Structure 1
Amino acid sequence: MLKARIALSDLSLDAQWRDGCIVFGNSRIEPCAHTMLETLLVRTENQWFVTVRERLASSAHVGVMASRDVDAEQFNQLYQQCILWRLDYLMIEVAKTGHRMRVRAGVLGSVPVYCHAIDDHITISWDFADFTAIPLAIDPEVASHRLTLNTAYSARQLCVGVNMLTERASFHVEPGKASYRYPVPAADTTPSPLPAGRDALTAFSELLQHVVSLRPITAERIAIELSGGMDSATVASAMAIRHEQMMSLGILLDGDVRLPQMQRRQLIAQRLNLIDQTVDIAAFPPSLDLRPRPDQAKNLHWEYYLEAGAALWDSAIARGRDVLFTGIGGDELFPAYIDEIQEHSGHESGGVGEARHYAEQLLTPRALSAARTHSGFDAPASPVPVTSLLSQACRGSDQLRHGQWPVNLLSDPSLAAFCHRLPRDDRLGRAVMRQYLQMRLGSDVFPRGYTKETFARVLPELISKHVQTVTSQLRECALADLGLVDQRAALELLNTVAATRARAPMSALASFLWLERCVRQVS
């Protein structure tokens, strides 16, 4: 939500707006310039703060860039208002005396920022590319966990010294000292009966509409990622109650899923009056090129279908649509609790366990030992489910880079808390979401057992076509040079995927190839 380069010695100086940035000495804070965001600079004697936050429909619009000089009482009131902001925000707080500062994040984690402190200079940015000019070292423990498909939501990232500001966390810096503080864990949720006279469908519908109403948006600026699945269809259905002629975006897959995916999209678009636009995955295939390129987006998280997504985001921007609604969070709304699982064995499901087995075959003994230890650095439980936060971290910066501000309605904490507490029958098989979609779209769009869209076949087919090129590029392996991966095992896994096109080895290979590319871009 912002970028900043700050020297602690400059914190004693007055902060002023200049050319769209907040400047003090040689330091500057650059808020993200998007109409869904507003920036407020508040100054009082010996301290100031700046917050970049999502605009609320119910609050007075402070302007894209605003500043206020206030007394101590007003300062504290505005400060409390900011840290309790209902939508996403990022805040930098400064105490001039002592040259101290704190960076604080909101709860939603839509587009997280990274922080790096060295020699009393701090770099903060939502774009990891801003850190690649700094000499960086790979954290072998984090890399080992990533290679075995154990991705954690954590301040500690792949590059040593670059911390991600997780939801509700804070980063404290003063001369000669920097510290990271996680928030208090969110309370556990358990199923409970609905209040007398309330039914799950009505309550779910009303809460969805409340979440939709939080932001000041107009139909002509909206784009909705519509995959053809239940999550994105739920978002589109909720939005269509308040807005007409919205734009929907989607990637059309090949193979057996293509026709049912197209048919569902057509039904949804017709019944919700959407302006639908698609691209074919074959026209924008994922890049398998491991060589760093100057124009290649740099990220610390895995997003393999950026090319097709970027084509859609750019087409939406060309039509003035810069607010992107996604279905992220839908998979996490209806958990099955342990005592509700009939044959709970305490072991991983076959698919995940098999993929992890292939992944472990790649690792050197040193890396395997690191991967099998408990990470110990995960962020505490959060109001937004962790897998939703990870999905947002994978995609948010790329979306913002293409001019889109992402809104993930189904990741809203109040919606997650409500759905997690629903009785078992309302959660099982996403029962309440199915009822909602039947009410909004009819019963023929998502019949039980419908063919779901999946990217599972895309990468195996691509690998089989380009196996020689990838083999050639893996003759030099950065992860092997770091002592984490057995280069021969990596080539064997590549050939296994090319020959079988099976999902489990492909999952392990995809994680390895992405991490190899990431390590090369920072080496």
Structure 2
Amino acid sequence: MLKAHIVLSDLSHHAEWRDGLITVGKSRITPHAHPMLEALLVRTQGQWFMTVRERRVATAPDKTIACRDVDTEQFSRLYQECALWPLDYLMIEVAQAGCRMRVRTGVLGSVPVYCHARNDEVTLSWDFADFAAHPLAIDTEIASHRLALHTVYSARQLCVGVNLLTERASFYVEPGKASYRYPAPAPDTIPSPLPQGRDALTAFSELLHQAVSVRPIAADRISVELSGGMDSATVASAMATFHQRIASKGILLDGDVRQPQIQRRQLIANRLNLSDETVEITAFPPSLDLQRQPGQARGLYWEYYLEACAALWDSSLAQGRDVLFTGIGGDELFPAYADETQEKNGKEPGWRDDARHCAEQLLTPRALSVARSLRSFDAPTSPVPVTALLAHACRGPDLLRHGLWPVNPLSDPSLVAFCHRLPRDDRQGREVMRQYLHARLGSEVFPRGYTKETFAQVLPELISRQAETLATQLRDCALADLGLVDQRAALRLLNTVATTRAQAPTAALASFLWLERCVRQIN
């Protein structure tokens, strides 16, 4: 949400707005410029804070930047208002005496910010490329867990010293010192009966509609991702409640899922009166090249389908649509608890176990020992599920580079908490979401057992066609040089995927190739 380079000794100076950024001595804080965001600088005797945050409906449309000089009482009131802001935000607080500062973040994690403190200088940025100009060391413990297909949401990242500001976290800095503090864990949720006279569908609809309408957005600035699945269709249906002729964007897949996906998209677009646009995955295949291309942004996260997504994002921006609504978070809305019989979905649990086994076969004994150790660095339980936060982190920076601001209504904490507490019958099979969609689209769009869209066959086919090139590039393996991966095992796994196109080894190989590419970008 911002970029900043701050020399701590500068914090004794007065903070000023100049040409869209805050200057403090020679230090600079630059809020990300987007109509969905507003920035505020509040100063009082001896201290100041600034925040960049998402706009709410009540925000004046022309209020982009504000600077206020206030007394102590007003300062405290404005500070509390910003700290409790219900949408995404980032805040920097400064005490001029002692040149101390704290950076804190909101709960949504729409676009994460990274931080690095060195030699009494602090760098903050949503773009990891801003840290890659200097030599960085790889955190081999983090890398080992990622190679083993473990889900890791943590302040610690792939590069030593570059921390992710996780949701609700705080980063404290003063001359000679820096510390990171996680928030208290979010309360556990357990299923509970709905209040008497309250039905699940009505409450779900109200919370969803609140999540999509809280920001001041005109219909001609909105795009909605539409894959053909239930999550994106739910968001599109909710948006159509408030706006006419919304633009929907999606990637058309190939193979057996293609025709069902096309038919569902057509039904959804017709019944919601969407202006629908698609691109073919075959026209924008994922890049498997392990070498960083000229002009390519360095990053800790890499979206395999960025090429096709970018084509749609550029189209949206060309149409003046700079806000993208997504279905991220839908997979996490309806968990099964330990005392419940979880629905089986084909061979998915076994497939995941097989993928982890394939991934572990890549690791050296040292890396495998680390990957099997208990972790002590994970962020605490959050109001937004971890996998949704990781999806935000993966895609957010690329969206900002393309001029778009992401909105993920199904990750809204109030909606998440409600759905997690629903009785089993309302959660199982996404029952309440299914009822919502049936009421708006008809029961035939998402019948039980419908053929789901999936990217599962895209990478196996692509890897098979490019196996020789990948094998050549893997003769020099950065992860092997770090002592984390057995290079011969990596080549064997590549051959397995090329000959079998099986899903489990593909998942392990794709994760390895992603991390190999990241390490090459960094070193």
TM-score by length of 2: 0.98
**Which residue of structure 2 aligns with residue 196 of structure 1?**
196
Identity within the alignment, %: 75
Q: Distance in 1 between matches of 2:158 and 2:505?
A: 23
Q: 2:7·2:122 contact (CA, 8 Å) conserved in 1?
A: yes
Equivalent AA in structure 2 for residue 57 of structure 1: V
1:375-411, CA deviations, whole angstroms, 9 ceiling, x for partnerless residues?
Answer: 2110000111111111111111111111110000000
Q: Distance in 1 between matches of 2:420 and 2:58?
A: 27
Q: Secondary structure at the match of 1:428?
A: helix
Equivalent AA in structure 2 for residue 223 of structure 1: S
Q: 1:40·1:62 contact (CA, 8 Å) conserved in 2?
A: no
Q: Secondary structure at the match of 1:116?
A: strand
**Which residue of structure 2 aligns with residue 154 of structure 1?**
154
- Structure 1 residue 353: Cα displacement: 1.0
**Which residue of structure 2 aligns with residue 442 of structure 1?**
442
**Which residue of structure 1 aligns with residue 57 of structure 2?**
57
Q: Distance in 2 between matches of 1:62 and 1:322?
A: 17
Q: Secondary structure at the match of 1:183?
A: coil
Structure 2: runs of 5 or more not aligned:
none
1:242-299, CA deviations, whole angstroms, 9 ceiling, x for partnerless residues?
Answer: 0011110000000010111011001101111111111001111111100122322322
1:141 correspondence with 2:141: yes
1:360 correspondence with 2:356: no
TM-score by length of 1: 0.98
- Structure 1 residue 62: Cα displacement: 7.2
Q: 1:297·1:398 contact (CA, 8 Å) conserved in 2?
A: no
Rate the CA distance shift 1:9–1:331 in 2: closer, same or farther, 3 A.
Answer: same
Per mean C-alpha deviation after superposition, the further-off stretch among 203-212 and 59-68 is 59-68
1:268 correspondence with 2:268: yes
**Which residue of structure 2 aligns with residue 379 of structure 1?**
379
1:85 correspondence with 2:85: yes
Q: Secondary structure at the match of 1:338?
A: coil
Q: Secondary structure at the match of 2:339?
A: helix
- Structure 1 residue 307: Cα displacement: 0.8
Equivalent AA in structure 2 for residue 127 of structure 1: D
- Structure 1 residue 20: Cα displacement: 1.2
Runs of 4+ in 1 over 3 A off after TM superposition: 59-62
1:243 correspondence with 2:243: yes
**Which residue of structure 1 aligns with residue 521 of structure 2?**
521
Following superposition of structure 1 onto structure 2, how do residues 389-468 of structure 1 map, counting pairs within 5 Å?
389-468=389-468
Q: Secondary structure at the match of 2:167?
A: coil
Q: 2:248·2:274 contact (CA, 8 Å) conserved in 1?
A: yes
- Structure 1 residue 58: Cα displacement: 2.6
**Which residue of structure 2 aligns with residue 2 of structure 1?**
2
**Which residue of structure 1 aligns with residue 207 of structure 2?**
207
Count of residues in Structure 1 that have an aligned counterpart in Structure 2 = 520
- Structure 1 residue 191: Cα displacement: 0.8
- Structure 1 residue 323: Cα displacement: 0.4
Equivalent AA in structure 1 for residue 338 of structure 2: I
1:119-178, CA deviations, whole angstroms, 9 ceiling, x for partnerless residues?
Answer: 001100000011100210000000000001013110000000000000000100000000
Equivalent AA in structure 2 for residue 273 of structure 1: N
Per mean C-alpha deviation after superposition, the further-off stretch among 56-65 and 393-402 is 56-65
- Structure 1 residue 521: Cα displacement: 0.5
Q: 2:151·2:387 contact (CA, 8 Å) conserved in 1?
A: no
Equivalent AA in structure 1 for residue 137 of structure 2: A
Q: Secondary structure at the match of 2:223?
A: strand
Q: Distance in 1 between matches of 2:23 and 2:500?
A: 57
1:66 correspondence with 2:69: no
- Structure 1 residue 351: Cα displacement: 1.3
Equivalent AA in structure 2 for residue 438 of structure 1: H
Q: Secondary structure at the match of 2:440?
A: helix
**Which residue of structure 1 aligns with residue 493 of structure 2?**
493
Equivalent AA in structure 2 for residue 192 of structure 1: S
Q: Distance in 2 between matches of 1:149 and 1:77?
A: 45
- Structure 1 residue 198: Cα displacement: 1.1
Q: Distance in 2 between matches of 1:298 and 1:507?
A: 23
Q: Distance in 2 between matches of 1:276 and 1:62?
A: 31
Q: Distance in 2 between matches of 1:169 and 1:62?
A: 30
1:310-347, CA deviations, whole angstroms, 9 ceiling, x for partnerless residues?
Answer: 11001000000010000001011111111112699xxx
Following superposition of structure 1 onto structure 2, how do residues 18-33 of structure 1 map, counting pairs within 5 Å?
18-33=18-33
**Which residue of structure 1 aligns with residue 119 of structure 2?**
119
Per mean C-alpha deviation after superposition, the further-off stretch among 75-84 and 285-294 is 285-294
- Structure 1 residue 210: Cα displacement: 1.4
Q: Distance in 2 between matches of 1:494 and 1:289?
A: 14
- Structure 1 residue 206: Cα displacement: 1.2
Q: 2:298·2:522 contact (CA, 8 Å) conserved in 1?
A: no
Rate the CA distance shift 1:173–1:422 in 2: closer, same or farther, 3 A.
Answer: same
Structure 1: runs of 5 or more not aligned:
none
Q: Distance in 2 between matches of 1:413 and 1:180?
A: 23
Over aligned residues, Cα RMSD in angstroms? 1.2
Q: 2:333·2:410 contact (CA, 8 Å) conserved in 1?
A: yes
Q: 1:112·1:393 contact (CA, 8 Å) conserved in 2?
A: yes
Q: Secondary structure at the match of 1:270?
A: helix
**Which residue of structure 1 aligns with residue 221 of structure 2?**
221
Q: Distance in 1 between matches of 2:343 and 2:477?
A: 42
Equivalent AA in structure 2 for residue 318 of structure 1: A
Q: 1:166·1:379 contact (CA, 8 Å) conserved in 2?
A: yes
- Structure 1 residue 66: Cα displacement: 1.3
Equivalent AA in structure 2 for residue 25 of structure 1: G
Q: 2:336·2:342 contact (CA, 8 Å) conserved in 1?
A: no
Q: Secondary structure at the match of 1:300?
A: coil
